[in-house]
Amino acid sequence: MRALVVHNTLNSAGGSGRVCLGVISALKELGYEITLLTVEPTDWTKVREMFGEAWLIKPDKEVHVLPFRTRAFGIYARLLTFLRMGGKYDLCVNTHGDALPVRSDIIYMHYPVFALLKDSSISVKYSRSRFWRLYFKPYEYIQSHLVRNIKHRAKVIATNSEFSREAIKKYLGIDAKVVYPPVDIDVFINGNEVAREDRVVSCGRFAPEKNYEFIIDVASHLPQYEFVIIGASSGRVSSAYYNKLMRLVRSKGVENVRLMRDVSRSEQVRIYKKSKVFLHAMRGEHFGVAVVEAMASGLVPVVHESGGAWTDIVDRGEYGYGYKSLEGAIEAVERAMHSSLKARIRSKVEEFSADKFNERFKALVEEVSEDD
Q: pLDDT digit string (tens) for 109-150?
A: 999 988 888 876 777 778 778 888 898 999 999 999 999 889
Asked if residue 277 and residue 145 are part of one domain, the reply reads no
pLDDT at position 192: 67
pLDDT at position 131: 87
Mean pLDDT of all residues in 23-28? 96
Mean pLDDT of all residues in 226-242? 88
Asked if residue 153 and residue 34 are part of one domain, the reply reads yes
Asked if residue 247 and residue 266 are part of one domain, the reply reads yes
Tell me which of 202 and 82 has the higher pLDDT: 202
Mean pLDDT of all residues in 24-32? 96
User: What long-range pairs does 324-327 form, CB within 8 A, spacing at least 24?
Assistant: 326/214, 326/217, 326/218, 326/221
Residue 237 pLDDT class (50, 70, 90 cuts): confident
Asked if residue 358 and residue 281 are part of one domain, the reply reads no
pLDDT at position 362: 96
Distances (CA, A) of 247 to 3, 42, 244, 259: 49, 35, 5, 11
Q: Give per-residue pLDDT as tens, 145-162.
A: 999 889 888 999 999 999
Asked if residue 23 and residue 136 are part of one domain, the reply reads yes
3-state secondary structure the chain: CEEEEECCCCCCCCHHHHHHHHHHHHHHHCCCEEEEEECCCCCHHHHHHHHCHHHCCCCCEEEECCCCCCCCCHHHHHHHHHHHCCCCCCEEEECCCCCCCCCEEEEECCCCHHHCCCCCCCCCHHHCCHHHHHHHHHHHHHHHHHHHHHHHCEEEEEECCHHHHHHHHHHHCCCCEECCCCECHHHHHCCCCCCCCCEEEEECCCCHHHCHHHHHHHHHHCCCCEEEEEECCCCHHHHHHHHHHHHHHHHHCCCCEEEEECCCHHHHHHHHHCCCEEEECCCCCCCCHHHHHHHHCCCEEEEECCHHHHHHHCCCCCCCEEECCHHHHHHHHHHHHCCCCHHHHHHHHHHHEHHHHHHHHHHHHHHHHHHC
Asked if residue 135 and residue 78 are part of one domain, the reply reads yes
Mean pLDDT of all residues in 359-366? 96
Residue 231 β-bridge partners: 261
Residue 36 reports pLDDT greater than 90? yes
Asked if residue 260 and residue 344 are part of one domain, the reply reads yes
pLDDT at position 313: 97
Domain of 102: which CATH number? 3.40.50.2000
pLDDT at position 13: 66
Mean pLDDT of all residues in 279-300? 94
pLDDT at position 49: 81
Rounded Cα gap, residues 238 and 242, in angstroms = 6
Residue 329 reports pLDDT greater than 70? yes
Mean pLDDT, the chain, as a whole number? 91
Task: Say if CB 29 and CB 361 are below 8 A apart.
Answer: no
pLDDT at position 72: 67
Asked if residue 364 and residue 345 are part of one domain, the reply reads no
Task: Say if CB 39 and CB 9 are below 8 A apart.
Answer: yes
Asked if residue 11 and residue 148 are part of one domain, the reply reads yes
Residue 313 lies in domain = 185-352
Q: Give per-residue pLDDT as tens, 79-95.
A: 888 888 888 899 999 99
Other Cβ atoms closer than 10 A to 192: 5
Asked if residue 189 and residue 82 are part of one domain, the reply reads no
Asked if residue 143 and residue 208 are part of one domain, the reply reads no
Tell me which of 64 and 193 has the higher pLDDT: 64
Asked if residue 88 and residue 44 are part of one domain, the reply reads yes
Residue 191 reports pLDDT greater than 90? no
Count of domains observed in the chain: 2
Span of 180-184, 225-229, 233-237, 300-304 with lowest mean pLDDT: 233-237
Mean pLDDT of all residues in 229-240? 84
